[in-house]
Structure 1
Amino acid sequence: MLNQRLMWIAWPAFLVAAVLEMIVFAMVDPGDLHWFGSPLDLSRQTVYTLAFFVFWGVTMASSALTTLLAMSPYEVNRCPFPVAQRPDDCSKGGSCN
């Protein structure tokens, strides 16, 4: 289930980051970018790569938040231990299949 959720987060974020990269760099020239008033000493390809990973990270955070908010109360509150090994403060309801 964890692998499936990671794909729910990573794959849509990857697609949105790719589209965002195309839109942003259709209007912005990486050679004209400045960081705190001084020009960036990076190649265009480096700027494209770094921007893509920043866009991907931000959109993954958004997808992760959506996935977290979509979890049922049972998934959030269930105890991760088998019934016989649960500590006293662990939830009594639900199983850990």
Structure 2
Amino acid sequence: MNGEQAGPSRLVRCAFAVGWASFLAAGVLEALVFAVVDPHELRWFGAAPVELSPQAVYTVSFLIFWGVCALGSSIALLLVNLPTQEPPPERRSPDWPR
């Protein structure tokens, strides 16, 4: 080898970009939601109270927020990287047409 190390593949870089961006977005969303919502007052569809500790509610909601943000980021990244529908230019000789 020539001493150079290959960097991470494009797929790994995209996965880390999506994961990190969605992690930060989920953290902000968590802070915004639980600045307004008290975990002790949560109810399952308006009926029975949620019988989880506040830490469990924070953890589960953070993981749900992270998953939803990661899904949105992944779809956006996929749409940005879609190939165009234009046909490739045709190669012609310099004297074409005669």
| TM bracket (short chain) | 0.7 to 0.9
Unaligned ranges ≥5, structure 2: 1-9, 85-98
Distance across 2 between alignment mates of 1:72 and 1:65: 11
Length, aligned pairs only: 74
**Gap change, CA 1:40 and 1:72, over 3 Å in 2:** closer
Higher Rg:
2
Unaligned ranges ≥5, structure 1: 75-97
Identity of aligned residues (%): 45
Q: Which has the higher contact order (CA 8 A, sep 6+)?
A: 2
What is the aligned partner in structure 2 of residue 16 from structure 1?
25
What is the aligned partner in structure 2 of residue 68 from structure 1?
78
Give the structure with the higher percent helix: 1
Distance across 2 between alignment mates of 1:49 and 1:33: 14
Match among 38, 41, 49 for residue 32 of structure 1: 41
What is the aligned partner in structure 2 of residue 93 from structure 1?
none
What is the aligned partner in structure 2 of residue 87 from structure 1?
none
